[in-house]
Amino acid sequence: MPKGLINALTTPFNSDNTIDEGAFVAHFQWLYKNGVQRILVGGTTGEFFSLALEERRRLLKLVTKHFKGYVMFHAGAGSLVDTVDLAAFAASEGAHSVAVMLPWFLASVEHRGLVDYLNRVSEAVAVPFVIYNFPKHTQVRVTPKILSEVQHAGLKDSSGDMSLISHTPNYYIGSDRKLLEAYALGARGFISARSNAHPDLYANMDAAALADHNSPQSLALHEEVCSICDSLSGPGQIHIVKEAIQKELPDYPTAVRLPLL
């Protein structure tokens, strides 16, 4: 599993609500040129919840064809069948790792059901399997016991519960503000949405933090990142991030799919 920053890609949409593939490719190629060498395709920031399964496959195909760096693919879907199919497809298509969010809607799933669900996915892929913890949206939480019973390579954690670091081989925090704190506790890296619009800053901070997360340079760059967090946050964060991308790439569309506004 790689160290450092993994950028959570956004998905651009045309005025007719189709995916703007040209803008999608241009964006991640621009990220790479500006120092972002690892990306997550189809995560929350990528609006996976509003994409058809075939659209999610198409996005991955575009990335594996045109992106030179490391690719993580989020394969979580509404059913175990679709999740396994997406995960297996991602591995066969060239993704370096596969992430899966815990199943949602059922807010009181039994522990054994969650463990069996995740192990079914883990068994279906030959690449590293990453558990995606986002209890705000799933209403179920990854626990140390789940991590001990599921074959996995890492954890993408958007809960902010850094007590999980010691229970997974590779911990990736989903909070820009907490990334230096997470590094101090042994995190492998972090996954960021805001780096979509500020790749050079995030790449520089990433390099400094990996060299020494306590250095004056790391602390100064992290202060800049935290100021970016303040400006690119809010109820419509995905749209806000897209607007920030458009300031750098004028042809990048800012539309989001319903129910987002």
Following CA atoms 133, 135, 137, 139 in sequence, which dihedral angle do they give, to the nearest 10 degrees?
130
Can you tell me whether residue 56 is helix, strand or coil?
Answer: helix
- pLDDT for the residue 59: 98
CA–CA dist 122, 60 (Å, integer):
19
To which residue do tokens 């005025």 refer?
A: 15
All residues at 6 or more sequence positions from 112 whose CB lies less than 8 Å from its CB, including other chains? none
To which residue do tokens 């899966």 refer?
A: 100
Read off φ and ψ for residue 141, nearest 5 degrees: -120, 135
- pLDDT for the residue 108: 82
Can you spell out the DSSP letters for 45-97?
Answer: TTTGGGS-HHHHHHHHHHHHHH--SEEEEE---SSHHHHHHHHHHHHHHT-SE
Q: Which residues of the chain have pLDDT under 50?
A: none
Closest to 21 (Cα-Cα) out of 60, 68, 53: 60
CA–CA dist 181, 194 (Å, integer):
18
Other residues' Cβ atoms within 10 Å of the Cβ of residue 234: 9
Q: ∠ CA(127), CA(133), CA(139), 5° rounding?
A: 135
Closest to 41 (Cα-Cα) out of 27, 18, 59, 65: 59
Q: What is the pTM of this model?
A: 0.96
Domains of the chain, start order: 4-248 (3.20.20.70)
Helix %, strand %, coil % of the chain (to 5): 50, 15, 40
- pLDDT for the residue 137: 87
The tokens describing 47, both together, are: 């609006």
Residue type, 8: A
pLDDT digits (tens, 9 = 90+) for 53-96: 999 999 999 999 999 999 999 999 999 999 999 999 999 999 99
- pLDDT for the residue 106: 84
